[in-house]
Chains A and B, each alone.
Chain A
Amino acid sequence: RKEVEQDPGPFNVPEGATVAFNCTYSNSASQSFFWYRQDCRKEPKLLMSVYSSGNEDGRFTAQLNRASQYISLLIRDSKLSDSATYLCVVKYSSYKLIFGSGTRLLVRP
């Protein structure tokens, strides 16, 4: 079983749609959680951290459920520029970031 699992997608949605991605992690000792965005053939960039209480940044909302070891990302009012791969990232007990394989999002006009 992978340490961080994501649905690879692709999720193909029209502009303006709301889309949600899920991620599960296997290590209950995980301490920090993040969503990164990676454009094709580019480096990953931090989108947002994920906190237990849930957090929002503009059109993006992240949720964490420690009991279920589950993380989610909700994107409202999708834009064409949101097309990218979204990486679920977990950090536990050390400096290593454990990356999921990513969920690909395609936003069409």
Chain B
Amino acid sequence: KAGVTQTPRYLIKTRGQQVTLSCSPISGHRSVSWYQQTPGQGLQFLFEYFSETQRNKGNFPGRFSGRQFSNSRSEMNVSTLELGDSALYLCASSPFSAGSYGYTFGSGTRLTVV
């Protein structure tokens, strides 16, 4: 079956702009999580959605937001981009939001802010 699909793969934006990233989870998976990965901070949790509801949010400013649609697809938005937002953004999906299930990650969206 198809894996987790993230679009676009690469993105270059200018400081101050906003960006929307998309994630299509594995069919049947209802939990979608987003992570930011940078060389300095490693993998950091952004937020998780389950059945269109945000279940938890990491320690990121309000410029970072997301949503999940009824078909479980998810988007994350970053407004007023800063240079420090340059990172690999990863999406992961799981059947349920529980420790007894593993997550499948997408290949990520590489965002560069100039």
Tell me whether A and B are bound partners: no
Give chain A's interface residues, CB within 8 Å of chain B.
none
